[in-house]
Structure 1
Amino acid sequence: MNTPTTEIEIKRLGTGDVALAQQLIQLFRDVFEREDETDAEPNYLSQLLRNNTFVAFAAIQDSQVIGGLTAYELPMYYSASSEMFIYDVAVSAEYQRRGIGKLLLTALKKYCQQQNIPEIFVAAHAEDTHALEFYQATGGMAEKVVHFTYSEE
């Protein structure tokens, strides 16, 4: 049986955490069953982790990433403030439903409070009931929106 969340470290990834970022990317691939064609180069990941508008948190147990969250700070044009957009949240299958996702979201909320970012938002597919239940259980308020995607063809 896996250990409780008390032994899990939630860490904001920084410039020196390229190896952890690589583990996080692999975790996202596994959880989302996504086959990306290429890996981000270590130099690119280091540069991304230096970027203050990119925020990544990892849940780490025994030096292994077992969960993570990525988000982007979006400066607003109408005021001197920002909003935070959560891009991905995932927890390894064997650690799901143990409060790790909530710990990650709590870490992001605390970060946003420290940075005076008043609003966090996230998009979720309507058919992803697991994600919808998670966001509702953690205090998220659903809004009806239609998301459009443009792709180069």
Structure 2
Amino acid sequence: MSSTPYALRRLGPDDIPLLRKLNALFADVFDDPGSYASEPPSDAYLEDLLAKEHVVVVVALADDEVVGGLVAYELEKFEKARREFYIYDLAVSAEHRRRHVATALIEHLREIAMRRGGWVVYVQADYGDDPAIALYEKLGTREEVLHFDIAVEPPSRGRR
């Protein structure tokens, strides 16, 4: 495990206040309050979410403040008996960057994945996010892929 002055903690059902702090951090770092702060789920929803073994939320704490964190999902595969872990969100507050917080969070997830029989941890980065790309290239192998968002509801018949 990477040495860091931060405490790393996987959140469980009793950690809703820390999850809410992480969500506020995501809203700030990603500059996206619409996605992360406009419709906060109930405590019961979050408690249920954090109780799921396949939902992995890890925070980096400096004293009692959330200074970074990640949310990952364990995906059970069908083609082989193995699991993959997808990092959906990863952020570190501006004042705590360049202190190996993100690396420590990913290393902690790797340990969890190893214990759970994981085969790989993967993450995507946006073009132009050079610090994230540099970190991920240091830790893994780069693949060029296309990402598509497919709406659940089909477009109306009149549009093309």
Q: In 2, Cα distance between the equivalents of 1:51 and 1:112? A: 14
Q: In 1, Cα distance between the equivalents of 2:4 and 2:28? A: 21
Letter matched to residue 118 of structure 1: W
1:51-90, aligned counterparts within 5 Å? 51-90=52-91
Root-mean-square deviation (CA, aligned residues, Å) is: 1.4
Name the residue aligned to 2:111: 110
Q: In 2, Cα distance between the equivalents of 1:133 and 1:50? A: 33
Unpaired segments ≥5 residues, structure 2: 156-160
Unpaired segments ≥5 residues, structure 1: none
What SS class does the counterpart of residue 73 from structure 2 fall into?
strand
Name the residue aligned to 1:34: 32
- For normalisation by structure 2, the TM-score amounts to 0.88
Shift of 1:10: 0.1
Q: Which structure has the larger Rg over C-alpha atoms?
A: 2
Name the residue aligned to 1:140: 140
Name the residue aligned to 2:15: 17
- For normalisation by structure 1, the TM-score amounts to 0.92
Q: In 2, Cα distance between the equivalents of 1:122 and 1:135? A: 8
Matched-pair identity in %: 35
* Runs of 4+, deviation exceeding 3 Å: none
What SS class does the counterpart of residue 25 from structure 2 fall into?
helix
Aligned residues: 148
